[in-house]
Amino acid sequence: MEGVRSLLVESLKKYGMPFPVDSNVCTGWTRDLPKRRETIIFTSCMYQIEPIVPRLTKFSSVAGSLKGLSPLAKLIKPSKTELERAYNILNNIVSALKRKGIDLGYLYEDEPYSGAILLELGLLEEFANHAKAVYNKLKEYGVKRVITVDPHTHNALTRYKEFISFDVDVMNYLEVVSSNKKVEDEYTIHDSCLYSRFLNLRERYRSIISDSGIKLKEDLLITGKETSSCCGGPIAGVNRDLSEEIAKRRASDLNSLSSKLLVLCPICYVTLSPYFKGEIKDLAEVIL
């Protein structure tokens, strides 16, 4: 764990991300949003970079250091298809927010990473220090409200108040948007553990799904709030084999319900995709 801690802390100081990332990958999804607004969309580059994380974790044990990871990060980039999908999701979310009359900004290359991985690995002192740096950046730009687009970023930002003085309002896009499409189709759903169990958004996004016309195929033991399982993704950096085993079992259970799956998290999408035998779509791809 000490090696992981050192690697993360050094990377966050040097690159602002848990590992070296081409900033164009993070910011290339839009040039239409102003940089200075009191309300900003906060992507934390999650949708943009998550497709390459499984590839990087394969090499992390042999890379061993930032020096070893830096060339890999330059070589291993999301494919054009992966980036187009991520960019489409983010633009769909922005369009849905604008339809609600929200005047959004985006910090582009100055957008900080949330620090979620520090929190989830229990590196709380490092998380507190990172939270201070993020807060200072937001105040520098006069930001009063951030709108998050994924559960891990949302969880991290809502936890800042436990560690620092933090007076920026944090909202998730699911709290604001409504369905923009009528979809006569049936899916099953893999709930984000954070959204469903800890962030009180389960009923909110299920309402949006219902309003869209989508029928959810569910089973209490597979998709119940207290009985559904994790995708396995968050543990990949610590135990890749265990992560893959959890993902295989979860995908098999979901496949028993439907060949079409809705997810609400980039980590869930990337983790389950190799094993789910059917179509996986993010909520923002289908109904926004």
pLDDT at 76 over 90: no
pLDDT at position 250, please? 98
Task: Report in angstroms the alpha-carbon separations of 72 from 20, 22, 40, 167, 241.
Answer: 9, 11, 31, 38, 21
Provide long-range contacts, Cβ within 8 A and 24+ apart, for 271-279. 271/54, 271/231, 271/232, 271/233, 271/236, 271/243, 271/247, 272/190, 272/231, 272/247, 274/247, 275/247, 275/248, 275/250, 275/251, 276/251, 277/251
CB 272 within 8 A of CB 280: yes
Three-state DSSP at 166 gives coil
Tell me the two tokens of residue 197.
């169990």
pLDDT at position 65, please? 52
Q: Verify that 265 and 205 share a domain, yes or no.
A: yes
pLDDT at position 16, please? 86
pLDDT at 67 over 60: no
pLDDT > 70 fraction of the chain, expressed in percent and rounded: 92
Q: What is the pLDDT of residues 237-286, one digit of tens each?
A: 788 899 999 999 999 999 999 999 999 999 999 999 999 999 999 999 99
* Residue 109 placed within a domain: yes
Q: Verify that 50 and 133 share a domain, yes or no.
A: yes
Distance (Å, rounded) from C-alpha 66 to C-alpha 62? 11
CB 8 within 8 A of CB 123: yes
**Which structural domain range is residue 249 located in?**
186-286
Q: Verify that 81 and 196 share a domain, yes or no.
A: no
Distance (Å, rounded) from C-alpha 264 to C-alpha 92? 13
- Tell me which of 175, 194, 228 is where a domain ends: 175
Q: Give the predicted TM-score (pTM) of the model.
A: 0.94
Distance (Å, rounded) from C-alpha 87 to C-alpha 25? 10
Q: Verify that 162 and 270 share a domain, yes or no.
A: no
Strand-pairing partners, residue 186, are 215
- Tell me which of 118, 153, 175 is where a domain ends: 175
Q: Verify that 31 and 155 share a domain, yes or no.
A: yes
Q: What CATH number corresponds to the domain at position 201?
A: 3.40.50
State the residue for tokens 């951030």: 146
pLDDT at position 58, please? 65
DSSP letter at 233?
G
pLDDT at position 71, please? 60
Q: Verify that 191 and 113 share a domain, yes or no.
A: no
* Residue 90 placed within a domain: yes
- Tell me which of 117, 151, 175 is where a domain ends: 175
* Residue 57 placed within a domain: yes
Q: Verify that 65 and 160 share a domain, yes or no.
A: yes
Q: What is the mean pLDDT of the chain?
A: 92
Structurally, the chain folds into a number of domains equal to 2
Q: What is the pLDDT of residues 42-53, one digit of tens each?
A: 999 999 999 988
* Residue 181 placed within a domain: no
Q: Verify that 126 and 171 share a domain, yes or no.
A: yes
Mean pLDDT value of segment 162-181: 97
Mean pLDDT value of segment 15-31: 90
Distance (Å, rounded) from C-alpha 55 to C-alpha 287? 30
Mean pLDDT value of segment 154-169: 98
pLDDT at 127 over 70: yes
Q: Verify that 165 and 216 share a domain, yes or no.
A: no
pLDDT at 27 over 60: yes
* Residue 28 placed within a domain: yes
The distance between the two most distant Cα atoms of the chain, rounded to a whole number of Å, is: 50
Q: Verify that 117 and 66 share a domain, yes or no.
A: yes
Tell me the two tokens of residue 176.
């604001």
pLDDT at position 192, please? 98
* Residue 180 placed within a domain: no
Q: Verify that 190 and 218 share a domain, yes or no.
A: yes
* Residue 54 placed within a domain: yes
Distance (Å, rounded) from C-alpha 225 to C-alpha 196? 7
Q: Verify that 155 and 219 share a domain, yes or no.
A: no
Using pLDDT thresholds of 50, 70 and 90, give the confidence band for residue 8: confident
* Residue 248 placed within a domain: yes
